Structure 1
Amino acid sequence: MSKTLVIVESPAKAKSISKFLGSRYIVKASMGHLRDLPKSQLAVDLEHDFEPKYIAIRGRGDLIKELRAATKGADKVFLASDPDREGEAIAWHLSHLLGLALDDKNRIEFHEITKQAIQAAIKHPRQIDRDRVDAQQARRILDRLVGYQLSPLLWRKIKKGLSAGRVQSVAVRLVDDREEQIRAFVSEEYWTLTANLQSAGGKFLAKLMKKSGQKVSIPSKDEMDRIMSEIVGKDFRVTDVRKKERKKLPSPPFITSSLQQEAHRKLSFSPKRTMMLAQQLYEGLDLGKEGTVGLITYMRTDSVKIAEAAQAEAKEWILSHFGNDYYPDEPRQFTNKGRAQEAHEAIRPTVALRTPDSLKGVLSRDQLRLYRLIWERFIASQMSVAVTDTLTVDINVGDYLFRANASTIRFPGFLAVYEEGKDEGEATDEEQSSLTLSVSPGEKLDVVKLLDKQHFTEPPPRYTEASLVRKMEEEGIGRPSTYAPTIETIQTRGYVVKEEKQLIPTELGDIVISLLKEYFPDILNLEFTANLEEKLDRIEEGIAPWKSVVKEYYTPFAVNLAQAEEKIGKVKIEDQVSDEICENCGRNMVIKMGRYGKFLACPGFPECRNTKPLFEEVGANCPKCSKTLVVRRSKKGRKFYGCSGYPECEFVSWEMPAPDPCPECQQLMVIKSSKREKKHVCTNPECRFTKVIEEG
């Protein structure tokens, strides 16, 4: 009986696929790449048109022998690595290692791990796409040329162990530029005036907008007092009432970047965690009686295309649960942006009828939360628009115009299933949530209270991991497969740290970016990097030869490298000296920055290797032993607050302690913040006294 060998990338994928193929098929996993550029050398021949030198990856010898033996024992071999550039390159390298003919039709591709998709792929094998392989080769070689030649320069000029990457450096630059904007920001005072008004239909709020047709700006208390003196005692009269219908379309199903952003907003997942969980859902999980099944389509994609069969399933579910009104006249398709892969699909459930509730008790908590997010977004994308009634009321007071806005949902449409989240600091509609307001033009209103409030302009927010992904996508920096590893790398290297979800450049990051800006402007130039991504796309499309693209990038880089080597002197990073004395050698310890924040180290390194945590006091005392509470970090880098007397006292709190004890029971209070308010809450479950803190 003839045998067919199918090689995939992971054991989980192999297990899922085996279920859909008969006994004539053997499915094995390559465990990712088996051949690559060696780590010990540049491995790119600069004298001979950037020819790469590939070798079998160390430690994979036994696996390669196993796959070679399986290949010899098979009548046919199918290479079923992932459907992207990286997967195509893995198939190409496997062909070389296993002695397969490159013009054989042995490459199969699928975007979901279902019986239908696997069997269709087996029936339609193709040749390895050399253009796609060349695009991956060009990226790999460029990254090697930059990393392996720039990193030693940083070792010699700044500090041993440093490294610089092509895309990672641009990501650090984005974080660093935002920090510079924040440092340079000068806060300005401004005031707002809101009227609490009473109509025949009830109370409502109206905001001062204009004077004599011009937008009102109130920069000071004196100006506010002057405006108040012109308003107090005058009639508030309705001059215009406008009602409108507003329709809102659902968001498209997820692509890689939008999934990472929304999972961060709604689930507090890092991009890395999101992609790890999505990989598990894609490769397949054991559902009991049903066996191992892939639950979502391929998670590295920039396409919002949806298969007709998936749309039909979504329609069936929507009609059976909500009825005809909740389904549009035609199935909804979305338009891809830029150079998105048309052959790819959006991230969606493989079976739309498989609801999240049906997977309770089968998936882990976080797997289920991410599946629910993907499922709800996809179902909502196929539903009717939401219809909102809006009301705008203009009120005149002499020359001044106040305006009230209100809205209510007339028909929820897709909002019955899903609504997209917003980033912190993102503008929201300042509307009252219901249309209880009943007013008529010419109606005189009673003033309940005039509310004048002082504000200060705020600097742009620091990037979160989610908003940095969005910025990278907007600027064309990287591709779906690179967002998460790039953000992970810049933190691992100590160039950026995460504080309260915000990304902050370290002193080391500042120094490296300043040096790169001066001597390697192209590497940090957003437009230059985005143009290179477009050229990689053109290689994949068969329009540009990969070696000419590499040469065009590398030639000016090599010139800059030689100039930098000659001109840059030794950059010294001055460590901040602390009052802490090293108990081993008596020196004053210095403050250094590591992956998980600052720590104390002996300046006598390498003779003395003493290090210890640097604890930042939070200004509150431990409720158990009265010692000072300090900031600590978990193994995963998450900030928490603990007693400085640890390990004798093991008190910890995940929430920031407030400076003052509870006025009712003298127990510890913690700070709780939301977009609406900031408050101090007592931790004593029998008390729970709460004090709202006025901002500004």
Structure 2
Amino acid sequence: MAQKLVIVESPAKARTLNKILGRSYTIKASLGHVRDLPRTSLGVNIDKDFTPKYVIPQRKRKVIREIKEAASKASSIYLATDPDREGEAISWHLVAAAKLDADKVPVRRVVFHEITKEAVEKAFQTPHSIDMNLVNAQQARRILDRLVGYKLSPLLWQKVQRGLSAGRVQSVAVRMIADREQEIQDFNPKEYWTIEVELAPLEEQEAKFRAKLVASADGTKLNISDENKANKIAADLEKATYFVKSIQSKQIARQPAPPFITSTLQQEAWRKLHFTAKHTMAVAQQLYEGLPLGEEGSVGLITYMRTDSTHVAASAIAEVRDFIAKKYGGDFLPSKPRVFARKAKWAQEAHEAIRPTKIYREPEQIKPFLNRDQLKLYQLIWRRMVAS
């Protein structure tokens, strides 16, 4: 009996899906993009609506042959690449490169934002066609990258250093950094001094605290511009008697941060774990695509890591609230779930925030199966989701 063919990007994702879908499916990995612009020419016809010219790299020809062979024996074909512009473009390129004919064998696109049994089964129940709006968005970015970088990168090699590259995003970022550096170089530094005093109550000398001098006795702001002035003020302060003029106290409520999106995950991973953005995304990709958890087999541990939305599925919110109530008690649970405002104007609400696929899968429970960096990042994501 002919099997159903599923095409994904990576072997790790294929292993996780294989466990979920079972033996009636054959799963092949494209190992990323199978077509691209040529390396030895511009590959964009500027005079003909910026039409791109795609080629199949030598290293991908074997992959295409294997996919063609599997497709010839399949009863239906499912394109299960990642749920974003790049994933959509990979699916589109696969259809063209492998000459997948939808008139002969049904070719459908399936999209899921977490690799769990429930999400995958739902996606396969509701397949659709390739979203050409996403494909065209990816093509526009790729063409812009080529138009900017193809001419500028060789210039950098000649003038600065071989191996450097210019592009649609990084060239603008470098310009901003250069402008800011010029402002720093042009800044005229001025000398200033600050004074701090260590104080303690007369009856409780152990209760020391430090206070910073911010104003003179009449309330005017101090400008201590030289050492002599600073020493004179310090000498006067050493002879002074201090008293508490007033005490103000107030309660403040601090709201937890929203669940992670791509940018905030990268920022927090750098701040707390000293992971570069590139390393953060590489480790997150491993957690998303699935890791072997002993008898459970390969399991997707987090939702898709490229997202600009703080939205969380209602079922996931209910699971987290149930977990908090059972583990920590009802006192630690707000009366109703928090709702975080959408900050990005073009945030894709169909996507979810980055969260664990199962909150009951605590970091300590899966610690034996993860390497150090995988555990650190999973723990960061897990804690943020519970806190939010």
Give the TM-score taking structure 1 as reference length: 0.52
**Which of 322, 330, 334 is the matching residue for 2:328?**
322
**Structure 1 pair 359–154 and aligned structure 2 pair: CA distance change class (3 A):** closer
Structure 1: which 5+ runs fail to align? 382-696
Partner of 1:355: 362
Contact 2:198 2:208 in 1 (8 A): no
Residues 1:333 and 2:332 are matched in the alignment = no
- Deviation (angstroms), 1:160: 6.3
Query: Does the residue aligned with 1:272 lie in a helix, a strand or coil?
Result: helix
**Structure 1 pair 347–232 and aligned structure 2 pair: CA distance change class (3 A):** same
Residues 1:72 and 2:72 are matched in the alignment = yes
**Aligned residues: CA RMSD:** 2.2
Contact 1:44 1:141 in 2 (8 A): yes
For 2:157 and 2:285, the matched residues in 1 are separated by 36
Partner of 2:144: 142
**Structure 1 pair 204–162 and aligned structure 2 pair: CA distance change class (3 A):** closer
For 1:298 and 1:145, the matched residues in 2 are separated by 30
**Which of 128, 132, 137 is the matching residue for 2:134?**
132
For 2:5 and 2:57, the matched residues in 1 are separated by 22
**Which of 196, 206, 213 is the matching residue for 1:208?**
213
More strand by share: 1
Partner of 1:24: 24
For 1:191 and 1:98, the matched residues in 2 are separated by 70
Partner of 2:43: 43
Partner of 1:272: 278
More helix by share: 2
Instruction: Note the 1:3-18 alignment, pairs <5 A.
Output: 3-18=3-18
Partner of 1:95: 95
Partner of 1:61: 61
Moved more, 97-106 or 259-268: 97-106
Q: What is the CA deviation profile of residues 267-316 of structure 1, one whole-angstrom value per residue up to 9, with x for unaligned ones?
A: 12222221111111111011011111000111111111111111112112
Identity of counterpart residues, as a percentage?
51
For 2:163 and 2:251, the matched residues in 1 are separated by 60
Aligned length: 381
**Which of 238, 243, 246 is the matching residue for 2:252?**
246
For 1:93 and 1:235, the matched residues in 2 are separated by 79
Residues 1:343 and 2:350 are matched in the alignment = yes
Contact 2:3 2:26 in 1 (8 A): yes
Contact 2:191 2:226 in 1 (8 A): no
Which letter does structure 2 place at the counterpart of 1:72? S
For 2:239 and 2:299, the matched residues in 1 are separated by 71
Structure 2: which 5+ runs fail to align? none
Query: Does the residue aligned with 1:4 lie in a helix, a strand or coil?
Result: strand
Instruction: Note the 1:615-634 alignment, pairs <5 A.
Output: none
**Structure 1 pair 102–248 and aligned structure 2 pair: CA distance change class (3 A):** farther
Contact 2:83 2:112 in 1 (8 A): yes
For 1:329 and 1:63, the matched residues in 2 are separated by 53
Residues 1:262 and 2:251 are matched in the alignment = no
For 2:215 and 2:242, the matched residues in 1 are separated by 14
Contact 1:305 1:335 in 2 (8 A): no
Partner of 1:364: 371
Contact 1:30 1:63 in 2 (8 A): yes
Partner of 1:543: none
- Deviation (angstroms), 1:156: 5.9
- Deviation (angstroms), 1:358: 0.1
For 1:359 and 1:160, the matched residues in 2 are separated by 44
Partner of 1:84: 84
Contact 2:259 2:385 in 1 (8 A): yes
Partner of 1:305: 311
Give the TM-score taking structure 2 as reference length: 0.92
**Which of 232, 236, 241 is the matching residue for 2:242?**
236
Contact 1:43 1:53 in 2 (8 A): yes
Partner of 2:195: 192
Contact 1:356 1:371 in 2 (8 A): yes
Residues 1:165 and 2:167 are matched in the alignment = yes
**Structure 1 pair 196–6 and aligned structure 2 pair: CA distance change class (3 A):** same
**Structure 1 pair 156–265 and aligned structure 2 pair: CA distance change class (3 A):** closer
- Deviation (angstroms), 1:155: 5.1
Query: Considering only CA atoms, is the larger Rg found in Structure 1 or Structure 2?
Result: 1
Contact 1:306 1:333 in 2 (8 A): no
- Deviation (angstroms), 1:262: 1.3
Which letter does structure 2 place at the counterpart of 1:61? R
For 1:333 and 1:7, the matched residues in 2 are separated by 36
